[in-house]
């Protein structure tokens, strides 16, 4: 029996929590195995009598630590989304985070290597730290941003699979389905079918390059629009701009948690969180 796209999506959503970590585990296992063979072959061609177990320890110690850090990088991406157009300050934040990422990687990697060498009756020397740390950082910063890039691309594919939204427009003839200036529903194309998405069910809206994402019940529906344009089309009594890149549905806001930076977090009844910048914080607190 051939499965439809809808069935495939539903099945994937059920197995998603297993499939996502399994992908990274398999990827790093394959990468480490290949690196071991290539690195050992390079040593042989260079005339170096390096035992294979040493090469294996180098590669596995490094990649196991990097694998363990993948969830941390993905959480960092969720906490500080890195867009090409919006939130440029987050790039600086991620550059600082990549330094910490590299330092943790090197310290844990060296510790694992020392234990492995000690168990083999030998001693591991990392070398000159001031020379080796910059070298390791060049590799680690590429790994860090590669994970961010892949996670962003995966999120975009998942959003496309879940569906894409459009604003209801004026009909060719006859009355409009909704007032076009403040539509009560959005038209969502999902897996080749059109659905009407009630605006009241939208929890928040997030800027995403040339799109904005309508977040509804754990799904994101991209809509080609700017934040300014979509803000003008929404009901101001229900939706409020709380950040340069976020608009929140006030019906879902349960609490506002202040941060030391002066910003805040809007806690939603659905369990989600939306950042609130200082510029919009007072406007949100005044609602009640």
Burial class (CB in 10 A: 0-12, 13-18, 19+), 133: middle
Q: 154 and 119 in contact (C-beta within 8 Å)?
A: no
Distance from C-alpha of 237 to C-alpha of 226, rounded to nearest angstrom:
20
Give me 20's structure tokens: 């996502």
Q: How far is CA 40 from the centre of its chain?
A: 35
Segments of the chain assigned to CATH 2.40.50.1020: 165-285
Q: 200 and 211 in contact (C-beta within 8 Å)?
A: no
Burial class (CB in 10 A: 0-12, 13-18, 19+), 247: buried
C-alpha distances in Å from residue 90, one per residue of 58, 94, 98, 103: 33, 6, 12, 20
Residue range 165-285 forms a domain whose CATH class is: mainly beta
Q: Which of 97, 106, 94 is nearest to 131 (CA)?
A: 106
Q: Which of 246, 38, 175, 40 is nearest to 234 (CA)?
A: 246
- pLDDT per residue rounded down to tens, the chain (288 residues): 555 555 676 677 778 889 999 999 999 999 999 999 999 999 888 888 889 999 999 999 999 999 999 999 998 887 776 654 335 567 888 899 999 999 999 999 999 999 999 999 999 999 999 999 999 999 999 999 999 989 888 877 776 676 666 665 443 344 444 444 556 777 776 655 677 778 888 999 988 777 788 888 877 888 878 888 888 888 888 899 988 889 999 999 888 888 877 788 888 988 888 888 888 777 776 665
Cα R_g (the chain), whole angstroms: 24
Give me 33's structure tokens: 């195995």
Distance from C-alpha of 142 to C-alpha of 28, rounded to nearest angstrom:
15
């Amino acid at each position: 029996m051939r499965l439809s796209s809808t069935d495939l999506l539903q099945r994937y959503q059920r197995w998603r929590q297993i499939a996502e970590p399994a992908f990274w585990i398999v990827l790093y296992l394959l990468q480490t195995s290949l690196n071991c063979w290539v690195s050992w072959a390079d040593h042989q061609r260079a005339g170096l009598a390096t035992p294979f177990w040493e090469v294996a320890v180098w590669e596995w110690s490094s990649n196991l630590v990097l694998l363990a850090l993948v969830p941390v990088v993905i959480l960092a991406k969720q906490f500080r989304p890195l867009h090409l157009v919006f939130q440029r300050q987050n790039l600086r934040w991620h550059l600082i985070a990549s330094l910490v990422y590299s330092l943790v990687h090197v310290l844990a990697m060296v510790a694992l290597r020392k234990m492995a060498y000690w168990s083999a009756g030998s001693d591991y020397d990392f070398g000159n730290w001031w020379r080796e740390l910059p070298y390791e950082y060049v590799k680690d910063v590429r790994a860090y941003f590669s994970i961010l890039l892949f996670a962003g691309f995966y999120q975009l594919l998942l959003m496309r699979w879940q569906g894409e939204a459009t604003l209801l427009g004026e009909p060719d003839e006859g009355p409009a389905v909704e007032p076009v200036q403040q539509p009560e529903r959005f038209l969502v194309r999902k897996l080749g079918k059109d659905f009407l998405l009630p605006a009241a069910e939208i929890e928040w809206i997030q800027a995403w390059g040339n799109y904005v994402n309508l977040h509804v019940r754990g799904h994101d529906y991209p809509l080609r629009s700017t934040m300014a344009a979509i803000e003008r089309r929404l009901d101001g009594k229900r939706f409020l701009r709380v950040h340069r890149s976020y608009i929140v549905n006030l019906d879902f806001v349960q609490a506002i948690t202040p941060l030391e930076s002066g910003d805040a977090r809007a806690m939603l009844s659905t369990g989600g969180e939306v950042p609130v910048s200082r510029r919009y914080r007072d406007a949100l607190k005044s609602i009640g």
